[in-house]
Structure 1
Amino acid sequence: MNDILPEHTPVWQYLEATIKRVVGAYGYSEIRMPIVEQTDLFKRSIGEVTDIVEKEMYTFDDRNGESLTLRPEGTACCVRAGEEHGLLYNQTQRLWYMGPMFRYEKPQKGRYRQFHQVGVEAFGMASADVDAELILLTAELWRQLGMNDAVTLQLNSLGSNEARARYRDALVTYLREHFDALDEDSQRRLDSNPLRVLDSKNEATRVILEQAPVLTDYLDEESARDFAQLREILDAAGIKYEVNPYLVRGLDYYCKTVFEWVTDALGAQGTVCAGGRYDGLVKQLGGKPTPAVGFAMGLERLILLLEAMELVPVSARQTFDVYLAAEHKGIQTAVMLMAEELRRTVPGLRVRTHCAGLKNIATKARQTGAPAIILLKQLDGGELQGSLWCNDETEYDLVPEQLKARLLVLFGA
């Protein structure tokens, strides 16, 4: 699990603010769920034979002997909250959330056991246009972050439960003919979750899969029609994509459309955003049948991508706008009051006061990255005057009102 230090949090805040702005523009409302849920919620939703439930969840008994789990993902939590509070039945909802998730995985760069996700979920809409809306939303986010050329959209359709069952039988029949050549994980999954074999990274298994039945050949009429409508909207919007017949997603609740945004800008190809339709999950968790679709993206991976591509604007790394210090002893009270005045005069202005004596003022001011430095002094008559350093220029002997006016010009709305 990883600390996010003060030098890095401005980048996180920039990314989070951009995400909030984009999801808000599409009419999605924020929901906040608990970090701890009943373990059964994830067993019923994710699937007991998935890697997440089998190997990765942080599960413990509380003092009443009830099994609880730190949430490994957010969709099941969002469905539980929506159903519990009567938000889903015969309604449409567009929701989003952001926060930490927990999985016991092998730590590596950009992947930690506590990680942060943004999830976006749409309930009550069965047509493919809302699937397209979510993809358009993500494409707009990439555009605003400047990384649209670094990510590629992959699409697939898993079809209905019945169509998937027919495909599952065909796939199992084919893979059993090549059982001895499959990797150990794929052999184990053949009985419990054979579609996950399609996601294998083992080279020998990948060769076998090249001749395997293709899921799109088994689609039911409705799923094929929806997939065609989705592609039509994306084509009209100019969104480029690849149809990937091996894309199945790692959670049991997906059906019909699934998608991933992938990048190779961080080395080996990795997923930065993934989602799809899960029309059966609300009923599976005890609610009335409700169509639903959503996606999640990991913030750690996006931060790495922003930094690798040098897409973080200078303003996002700026910690303070003004560094305010006394030029001599005896006027620290005046400095503190002046700082309060500046914050009120220019809303949103970030002011740091120098509270460590008169030593190393310039050095400490530079360490904050503040673009403006004000040194205050008191004249014999008691009046305050200041010197303003900004953009390699210095203005001397400014009274407080002049200082406030200059800061309004520099940083005001």
Structure 2
Amino acid sequence: MRESGSPPCQPRPETQLSRLGRPAAHPGPVNMPLHRASTIVFDTVAELEAAKAARFDKGTMFYGRFGTPDVFAFEGAIATLSGGVGTVAVPSGLAACVLPLVAFLKPGDHVLVTDSVYEPARTSLQAFIARSGVEVSYFDPRAGAQIAGQMRANTRLVYLESPGSLTFEVQDLPAIAAVARDKGVLTMCDNTWASPLYLKPLSLGVDLVVEAATKYVVGHSDAMIGTVTAADAAHHRLLRQAANWLGYRISPDDVYLAQRGLRTLAVRLERHYRTSLDLAAWLEGRPEVRRVLHPALPSHPDHALWRRDFSGASGLFAVELDTSKAGATIFAEALQLFSQGFSWGGYESLVLLTDPAHARTATRWDGQGTLVRLYAGLEDAEDLRADLQAGLERLKAFTNG
């Protein structure tokens, strides 16, 4: 029996968020200080040479690009939350998406990519990775175990994203990971939508998980940072090496903001989740809306997978309006609390008109109206609903006029 007053053996995520990555020494500051450093100095040649030999090991101070105590603390916090052996922090979410491709692919290899992949990552795959002699092909995000039929002898990596950040297909991660592992193929998953609190792809058999910490981890739209977390120590070391050869280096100020964002991640995510689900359910009943794409809604085709694998949902979802782009523009520009802009994960609500059709090769976007992506921020849910209602009324007037 645990002694009275002692901490729980396995703290819940909310408790972990208040403790991970903090300085160990006491007395001392509750927050990890910033470390602005390029050159690291040593007292002896032997110390310098030992640091150089261990420069890819976690926690080794060698040169600023390889990391400083604040970076190591942040990486350790993300690794713990994700259930991995180690994390590499990089300058942006896109950098995190690209890093495993550089680390594990070589000319002649083949990578299978979900057709719902983050569009800038698709562009990087076509404009950069394919140019280096890597074969890139795309698969239906709902393929599940049927992805085995698209595996080739030279397939090295399967790139997943669940759900997709425009059309919100939830992938059967355990089924795909099992097929890939049987064939000796690595899997990576973009987990930005759910964060490590609501989905843990590594626990489902995925090898690598990437996130745009720019979004929910930072949480305030004022810093850019990405993370790649590995389930295997050898993979983590290869990622650290590739990050160095690419010259990746993150700002100590951005690391500080990301660490601070972690402290409130759980309470913010719960608010985003509840507000988005409330708005999504309400929008399903509006005549101007053809359908709502939110995995937490029972009407979503992948709702059962979401219930099985996720413990919560994001503030990001989409609606297909029963109108043209001109009508959707009227709707979006009528909104006062939803600003037009890319990204998400901050405290502010956002709206974005989008057309997935031009970024599909393995599947076809079957929308008949106009897809509008919505992000529910931290504003009051009733105020956001009223704003959306006003926008829909403007759309109705446009349609009837």
- TM-score between both structures, scaled by the size of structure 2: 0.23
Give the structure with the larger strand fraction: 1
- TM-score between both structures, scaled by the size of structure 1: 0.23
Q: Quick check: which has more Rg, 1 or 2?
A: 1
